[in-house]
């Protein structure tokens, strides 16, 4: 319950509680807090039991911790009814990236095929002539 509270923080809380409630009332306050925590736990457990009974016998082994997304995904990956391990093991990211890189570098454009797959940036672009003018767009002017 108090996994993330360090020793210095715990001592600070105790000193603060003694200063606020006083040494006379502190035991009664601790008892009241513990009683409240017990009631909240009992209420939570009874609510869980009610939900399990309403869901039916097929959800008898249902745990509410499984609703945590990380736990749910981990449980589904371990279950492997969908064949996710086969998909995960059959996918090699490095191989896929190498195939994409090879496909990009082996394009057959006229400028690329004459220079071994590379475009020569030192050549001037062709002047637009009568036959290869860009289309006229009246709305753009």
Domain residue spans in the chain?
A: 1-56, 63-106
Cα angle: 115, vertex 117, 118; to 5 degrees: 65
Lowest mean pLDDT among 55-64, 67-76, 78-87: 78-87
Per-residue confidence (pLDDT) for residue 141, from 0 to 100: 64
pLDDT of 117 reads 55
pLDDT category of residue 23 using cuts at 50, 70 and 90: confident
Residue 61 tokens read as 């082994």
User: Cα 121–124–127 angle (5° rounding)?
Assistant: 140
pLDDT at 67 over 60: yes
Cβ atoms of 23 and 35 closer than 8 Å? no
Confidence (pTM)? 0.42
d(CA 99, CA 106): 11
User: How confident is the model over 59-67, as a mean pLDDT?
Assistant: 76
Do residues 119 and 112 touch, judged by C-beta distance below 8 A? yes
């Amino acid at each position: 319950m108090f996994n993330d509270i360090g020793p210095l923080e715990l001592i600070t809380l105790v000193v603060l509680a003694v200063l606020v409630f006083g040494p006379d009332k502190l035991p009664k306050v601790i008892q009241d807090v513990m009683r409240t925590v017990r009631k909240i736990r009992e209420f939570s457990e009874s609510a869980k039991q009610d939900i399990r009974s309403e869901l039916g016998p097929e959800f008898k082994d249902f745990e509410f911790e499984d609703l945590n997304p990380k736990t749910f995904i981990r449980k589904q990956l371990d279950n492997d009814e969908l064949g996710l391990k086969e998909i995960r093991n059959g996918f090699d990211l490095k191989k896929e990236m190498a195939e994409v890189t090879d496909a990009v570098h082996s394009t057959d454009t006229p400028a690329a095929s004459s220079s071994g797959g590379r475009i020569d940036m030192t050549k001037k672009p062709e002047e637009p002539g009568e036959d290869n003018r860009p289309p006229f767009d009246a709305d753009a002017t």
